[in-house]
Amino acid sequence: MSSLLSKKVAPMCLSVPREISIAPSNGHHNLYFPSSKISIHTKKGEFQPAALHPTYGSQDFCLIVEDNLETVKQELEAKGIHPLLDIAERHGAHGAMRSLYVRAPDGNLVELSSYC
């Protein structure tokens, strides 16, 4: 799953191939691909947590992990990487998942998720 920040959703939606579905969701839109999802935000930082300095055209991304998220969290903390929030319940391209958020060195958001 990724997030894209765009000022104008409508023109972008007109150029989306038929294999991709578009759905509004809590003030933003989602592009659903066969195996992934991109969330399109129209306001900077409308979904939290967000990048430190969101800009139009920037993206956050999600990596799917197979390990237990509690174990991943402990490993990150042991290496001095502290999650922004505790593990949160989210909805991804394939349904319910649990997510953990950290910052990339450039301040962008990285979501680590595991499907339930």
How far is Cα 62 from Cα 1, in angstroms, rounded to an integer?
5
Q: Which of 19, 70, 89, 111 is catalytic?
A: 111
User: Phi and psi at residue 70, in whole multiples of 5°?
Assistant: -65, -40
Quickly tell me which residue has 């502290």 as its tokens. Answer: 82
CA triple 96-33-89, angle to 5 deg: 15
111 is catalytic: yes
21 vs 70, more confident? 70
With cut-offs at 50, 70 and 90, classify the pLDDT of residue 15: very low
With cut-offs at 50, 70 and 90, classify the pLDDT of residue 4: very low
